[in-house]
Copies of this chain bind each other. A is one copy, B any other.
Amino acid sequence: MSDGLSEKQRDILRFLEQFIAEHDYPPSIRDIQQGCSISSTSVVDYNLKRLEEKGLIRRDREVSRAIELLNRQGERRRRTVQVPLLGPIAAGIPIPTHPDSVAPLDIIELTEEQVRGKANLFALRVQGTSMIDALINDGDIVILEPRQTADPGEVVAAWIVDRGETTLKKYYPEGRKVRLQPMNSTMGPIMEDASNVQVQGRLVATIRSF
């Protein structure tokens, strides 16, 4: 094989993946020995050293089960980040200023790659089809970053004060008015006084099941 790994080393990697997926903690050297039918713990240790040299795993000395799988670039694999699902959007629920202060309805898991260092993200479940042209359908989940302001054309969750309602729309400030534009060719824009519209967050990602 072209990856420079022996059959045994690839077998150990496979076992590591599988064991961790199953138990959520790494195997001991004896677990690996038995799982891969290896004659001696020395052989496991020997091959783990080779895998570490090749940048495929990371180990801590004299610590039990201290084996971490690395990705193909020799970097730590990303874990998931938990984002609270706060409620439906386009319903009469204001988004709290401090998302941590309310009990979320559910927890959405994203990879760090998707989050890219953004903090305090929160999730909402979309109601209605006003964003269908953006492939955001009824029941989909949108991930938002808390923001009090937005640039023209950004997709925001906006709190319409006198309606007591949060809605997901494209944001266009126009003088003293704000135009909230649906992304659905069958729907017209909502025009509101700027003082009646509070931007709550900016769209960062969507999760869909097409």
Contacts and interface: CB of A to CB of B under 8 A. Distances in A.
Nearest to A134: B135
A77 B155 contact: no
Interface size class of A (residues with CB under 8 A): 35 or more
Given A64-B28, A72-B107, A77-B80, A202 B206 contact: no
Interface in A102-142: 107-111, 113-114, 116, 133-136
Nearest to A66: B25
Given A133-B133, A134-B135, A183-B133, A109 B25 contact: no
A124 to B, nearest CB: 15
A202 B208 CA distance: 13
Interface string A87-110: 000000000000000000001111
